[in-house]
Amino acid sequence: MREQIFKLYSGRLVVEAEQQKLEERLKEIEKIEGKKLRRIFGLMSIWYSAQFAVSYYTIFCVPWLGWDLVEPLTYTISQGSMVLGLAYMYRHRGVGTEYTQLNEYW
């Protein structure tokens, strides 16, 4: 009986040690993921700011470019960037891009 109790106790210690290692690894992975996401969203912010600045410069400062030429281009780039950003986030968050999967996730 004591032998079985000892085996269970030593097995418990081994499992707790493994769990502690896995929790430390999880913290490392979450830290790396956080840095990666901050970098991606920073780059997205820079991209949209640059797009905003260039589009308004071309609309108001370039005589042969006006709103009728720049607006469709700006809209297309914005929508494409949004779709690519969503696809990236869903891909790396384990969510599919089908409507039913998005509806269940949100």
| pLDDT single digits (tens) 58-93 | 878 888 877 777 778 878 888 888 888 777 777 777
Domain boundaries, the chain: 2-105
User: Residue type for 74, please?
Assistant: T
Please report the pLDDT score of residue 52 as a whole number.
82
Tell me the CA distances in angstroms from 29 to 7, 43, 52, 83, one per residue in order: 33, 21, 34, 26
What pLDDT band is residue 104 in, cutting at 50, 70 and 90? low
The predicted-structure confidence for 16-38, as pLDDT tens digits, reads as follows 999 999 999 999 998 998 888 88
What pLDDT band is residue 98 in, cutting at 50, 70 and 90? low
Please report the pLDDT score of residue 66 as a whole number.
74
